[in-house]
Amino acid sequence: MRRVAIAGVGMTPRTEEYMRQSDSKSWKDYVIESGYNAIHDVRRGLNPRDIDYVVINYHGEASVEAGGIGPIVSDILGIHPVGVTVITANCTGAGVSMHDAYSLVASGRYNRVLVIGFDKRWDLLNFGDKRAIGGDVDYDFNFGYDHPHLQALLQAYAYQKWGKKKVLQAMAAYRMQMVWWGTRNPNAALWGVKTSTTREELFDIIDHIGEDAPVPSEFWEKLPKTYAVEGGSSMILVPADDAKAYTDTPIYVDGMSYKCNSHLLSKQMHYPTPALEKYDICDFAATHLATAEAYEMANVKPEDIDIAELFESHITSLIPTLAATLVPDPDKVLDFIIDGETGFGGRLPTGTDGGRGGLGLTSGSNFSDGIYEAVVQMRGEAGERQVKKADVAVVTGMQGEMASSSVAVLRSK
């Protein structure tokens, strides 16, 4: 197996100004823009014709007008007859794409593989149906449940497990951090957004909530919002031995893993096999298993990890993905968040682009968005939000309702 490096990254902005153009942009525009951004990011130049394979992904069925989009992608990028593998794995699709692309380069099969994740969210009139295919279609979808329902159940279970106030405090603390990061990222949906809410205000509301009382609407109104947007992001993988021919600052992919459990949450409550039976729906088994495998592959320990780009748009996904990094004490993950350890200057800066919620939730590109930000931070090019030390990064994605998880460990040296 050859060591693999990232030679270039690209993305389409998720800002309000850019999203105003979404009616005039098709999924093909996002594929072309993000793909060519990555090509142009290869500092010593890369001829598009030298790309020898593409792995691409999007949210899933019904998202675009043609399911078998490989030949279209090869055509619109102007790289015919290069082959294209098409993957659909909801929000961690780009992690699965990267996993496959990594194998293609590591094995020696190809030398320059382009990975693209994208989402064209608003072309579908009944967006609820599209969102619901991120769950178990035979049960969740047929019974009328989509993400907001299932996330509400997950959150109710989190209240049982960790206490309502603690969960809400962690959520409020993280959202305020999200605002800090996102308003300093010119690509983020939060760019230019003003918020008057303070952490103290949110904590004051939480202090007055009884454990059995509903969360007051005032809390949800004041809580900084996450943004559902569309666009694409991409990366170019090359053999590490050749990386300096493309760029002075290659970022090395030393760990890459992808694991599945189940779409259906009730199965995650009880799946009687040794690998899964100790986990419940708040643990997110797949992310623990994938993170452990990626760490082992990269030969890193939790104390080596400097930054994290996790799938943290919901508190119910932040807690397990952060726990899986093993950086916080497993019993103190919520305290770690509340104490600001995931913020600027904290032990593990997390979601430094604004996170999935603040950069903008873009189903097919969530994972490649995380890779983009990790690369920018590891190159030292993040400007005002640049963290002090970013030598080792972990990037984590999740699919649907915790159904699967992809994890990458990156090194700058």
Partner 1 sequence: MNEIFPEPVYRHGILRTTKAWRQHKERYGLVGSKCRACGTLWWPGRKVCGKCNSQDMENYRFSHIGKLCVHHAGQLAFSGPPVEGFEVYGGARVFAFVELPEGVYVGATDLVDCPPDKVKDGMSVHMALRKLRREANGNWQYGYMWVPAET
The reply on whether position 142 binds partner 1 by CB under 8 A is: yes
Taking contact as CB under 8 A, which single stretch among the options 29-37, 150-158, 175-183, 371-379 is the one that binds partner 1? 150-158
The reply on whether position 300 binds partner 1 by CB under 8 A is: no
The reply on whether position 44 binds partner 1 by CB under 8 A is: no
The reply on whether position 197 binds partner 1 by CB under 8 A is: no
**In the complex, minimum distance from the CB of residue 221 to partner 1, in angstroms, rounded to a whole number:** 10
The reply on whether position 160 binds partner 1 by CB under 8 A is: yes
The reply on whether position 310 binds partner 1 by CB under 8 A is: no
The reply on whether position 344 binds partner 1 by CB under 8 A is: no
What is the per-residue binding string for partner 1 in 255-294, x denoting contact by CB under 8 A? ---------xxxx-xxxxx---------------------
Cα 298 to its chain centre, rounded Å, is: 20
Q: How far apart are CA 187 and CA 360, in angstroms?
A: 9
Q: Binding partner 1 by CB under 8 A: which of 80, 83, 186, 220?
A: 220
Question: One-letter amino acid identity for 202?
Answer: L
Q: How far apart are CA 247 and CA 17, in angstroms?
A: 31
The reply on whether position 150 binds partner 1 by CB under 8 A is: yes
- In the sheet that holds 404-411, the strands lie side by side as 84-88, 53-58, 113-119, 231-239, 4-11, 251-260, 404-411, 392-399, 307-309
| 149 CB-near residues (< 8 Å, 6+ apart) | none
The reply on whether position 210 binds partner 1 by CB under 8 A is: no
Collapsed DSSP state (helix, strand, coil) of residue 238:
strand
Q: How far apart are CA 265 and CA 67, in angstroms?
A: 27
Query: 382: which 2 tokens?
Result: 């993040």
Total residues interacting with partner 1, rule: CB under 8 A = 41
Q: Binding partner 1 by CB under 8 A: which of 156, 208, 299, 329?
A: 156
Q: Binding partner 1 by CB under 8 A: which of 50, 107, 152, 329?
A: 152
Residue placing its CB nearer to partner 1 in the complex, 1 or 156: 156
The H or E element that residue 255 is part of is strand 251-260
Q: Residue 181 has what DSSP assignment? A: H
The reply on whether position 367 binds partner 1 by CB under 8 A is: no
